[in-house]
Amino acid sequence: MLQSIKPQTVPGSSDPASEYLSPTQLFKIFTGFVLRQYPVVVFTFLVMMAFAFVYLFTTPPSFTAEAKLMIDTRKVQLFQQQSVLGDIPADPWSVDTQVEILQSENVAIAVIKDLHLTEDPEFMSPREGLVPTMKGWLYRLFSPPSSGEPPSEFALTRAAIQRLQSQLSIKRIGLTYVINIGFRANNPRRAAQIANAIAQAYIVDQLEAKYEATRRAGSWMQDRIKELREQASSAERAVVDFKAKNNIVDTGGRGLINEQQLSELNSSLVQARAQIAEARAKLTRIDEILHSGTEVPDATVADSLKNDVINKLRSQYLEFSRKEAEFSSKFGSSHLAAVNLRTQMREIRKVIIDELSRIAQTYQSDYEIAKAREESLAKSLAQVVSESQTTNQAQIALRDLESSAQTYRALHDNFLQRYMESVQQQSFPITEARLITTASPPAAPSNPRTSLVLVAGALAGVILGFGLGLLREISNRVFRTGDQISEILHTDCIAVLPKVVGPATARSSKHIRNYGEPDCRIINREKSLFWAVIDSPFSRFAEAIRGIKVVADLNKSIKTCKVVGLTSSLPNEGKTIISMALAQTIASGGARVVLLDGDLRNPALSRRLVPRAKVGMVEVLAKQVAIEDALCVDPETGLAFLPAVVNERLPHTSQLLASEQAKLLFERLRQSFEYIIVDLSPLAPVVDVRAMTHLVDSFVLVVEWGRTKIEVVEHALRTAQGVYDNLLGVVLNKADLNVLSRYETHRVNYYHNRYYTRYGYTD
């Protein structure tokens, strides 16, 4: 864009995509689009409706018969065993799979062979409508020529399959397990017959597939059973041989012999250690009693409490002790009776100690025996543990052998059971599909559907029309409105000139003064667009030209605007006619104005106005003639014109226009005239305009309405900085006012004829 060239001067001309569009704005955009593109939409709609009517009148009626097939999820089990094929539950995916099977070639071939469809001419070559006929004609046109021989059986079958599948419609009904089978044909009875045949062929195909799969599975399992039987026998023999080799004897469910020995020895060893502890405790206790130093040892051990001798002696000792205490208290401790009693007490104590010593020896003997037994049991246990470790290592390998033998035996038994089931199922194959609705001949044709075709044609016409209109809207990157000029170029659109072919009315001629000039210096007067402003002063074209003059006059308050140059991006955009019209408008108002043909490469204005001129701007710049001798004049308006007489191509016109002589020429003209209108060359093809930007005060860019590309104008102004900086505005030329109102919906009444006719304007 041109933001880098010229600052934005139009309020609210920011990027529309970054602003929020209200519903009213969206409605205006849509309305404008419809107004601009409605011819395309209407034309496309009519074409599609015409196609719809042609289709309805040329398509023969066809009938669709429908049969319904259900995938039954409740298995009919003649045998309670599970199927050898592992029946898959009827989920949505399996139902969709059955739909594809119904459309397969196997089912189609079965129906074709059953009904002999290849021999039915009505099926193989039915009467078709316009569209299939055209498709067939195009296919035959681009296909290689046939050899003339009758088609083979294979070719007929392939054609019948293609025909059958093209007329067949298989679909699942909602989320149910019901499948709808529809077939379309020109004959209703034939349609019903083929629909039922497809259902039956599918059921037979399923039965045959299950029977064949079961048969193959049974044959494979028979070989597998034989192999598993041999593997199981070999594994069991390996177990027996390994037990015999490693002396592994099983006690019949109670474990191995060495395991029982280990358990018994361990229990005996625990008991022996308990006995040692008990004997050691008794021995220790009785030794403490013997060495306690008391008069009567307190033999509080189990054996002493149970000993009658010790108990009797202890009773006597206690009785003597009591008596001795009594005698000692009565008669004194030295009394003979007290002494005798103490002597008896010592004898009793000695006997008790002897008896306790005997018991201690018994405890010592028991302790020694228990220790010897414990040592013997420990040795036996160590030996058994060593033997058990060896046996356990062997048991690891034994368990592997036994597991392998059990696995092979279980596999053999399982396969044997499955084989017996498969043998039974071979005689009783069951299918999960059943026909729940038989197709009957339809009473009314199903195709063509008149209402559907018309609605589809209308919708297609509207959608395609809007699509083409949108494509045309997007691809047509040209200037059509003044708003586009403001938003894209950031400058003003100063006039919109309507497209005219010639003057609408001829003005009555006035008295023309005789300047006494030769014919070669008189502007050629004719009825053409060059004189439209003079011949039709009340036309829209003339009013728009006057608008350009008003803008130029108003611009004088800002800066000097005496020299106005008119240029365009490309040739043939109308800048020459506008230059002439603007100069004529100013001259007819009484101002002194001179028109220069500044297009030295293609001086079309000079060839049109003074075709017989001998000298012009080139000769003036070369100082071959004076300015006064090169100027031409219009006797009616007093317009002065400096032509460009170019007899051969000039390669350096830009240097000529940028020369000092050109600067002096314009200074002379500024002194003699109030307005200097310059018809410049286009910006894109040549560089002449850029060479003389210092001589022109303001530029007017002429853009052909609806033709000049936006990118071309942007590039032209981007490369001509001087032109853009001094741009007075842009003129949209050759506008179709009827179409223009479609692009500027907010100005739809601005171009209405009745407002112009009230002020005397006409076209």
> pLDDT tens digits for 698-728?
999 999 988 889 999 999 999 898 899 999 9
> Which residues touch 663 (CB under 8 Å, ≥6 apart)?
694, 695
Taking only the tens place, the pLDDT of each residue in 392-441 is 666 667 777 777 778 877 887 887 777 777 666 555 556 778 888 888 88
> Residue 640: what pLDDT?
93
Average pLDDT taken over every residue of the chain: 78
Identify the pLDDT of residue 307. 65
pLDDT above 80 for 65: yes
* Mean pLDDT value of segment 585-607: 90
Lowest mean pLDDT among 526-535, 663-672, 751-760: 751-760
Alpha-carbon distance of 165 to 187, in angstroms, equals: 17
The answer to whether 708 touches 479, Cβ cutoff 8 Å, is yes
The band of 525, judged by pLDDT with boundaries at 50, 70 and 90, is: confident
Domain boundaries, the chain: 36-59+448-471, 63-78+90-210+433-437, 257-409, 559-757
Residue 308 has a CB neighbour count (10 Å cut-off) of 7
- For range 668-684, the mean pLDDT: 92
Q: Comparing 23 with 752, which gets the higher pLDDT?
A: 23
Q: Does the pTM of the predicted model rise above 0.75?
A: no
* 660 vs 651: CA distance, rounded Å: 18
How many other CB atoms are found less than 10 A from the CB of residue 476?
A: 14
DSSP state of 703: E
As a whole number, mean pLDDT of residues 500-529 equals 57
**Which of 485, 593, 598, 504 has its CA nearest to residue 542?**
504
Confidence of residue 383 (pLDDT cuts 50, 70, 90): confident
More confident: 648 or 755: 648
Could you please report the per-residue DSSP string of 568-621?
ESSTTSSHHHHHHHHHHHHHHTT--EEEEE--SS--HHHHHH-TT----HHHHH
Amino acid present at 26: L
Q: CB neighbours of 222 closer than 8 A, spacing ≥ 6?
A: 419
Report the range of poorest mean pLDDT among 295-304, 356-365, 682-691.
295-304
Average pLDDT of the residues in 624-633? 90
Q: Which fold has domain 559-757?
A: Rossmann fold (3.40.50)
pLDDT for residue 513:
43
pLDDT per residue as tens digits for the range 293-310: 555 555 555 555 556 677
Overall average pLDDT of the 252-256 stretch:
55
CA 565/CA 553 separation, integer angstroms: 14
Interhelix angle for 188-245 vs 92-102, to 10°? 120
DSSP code, position 508: P
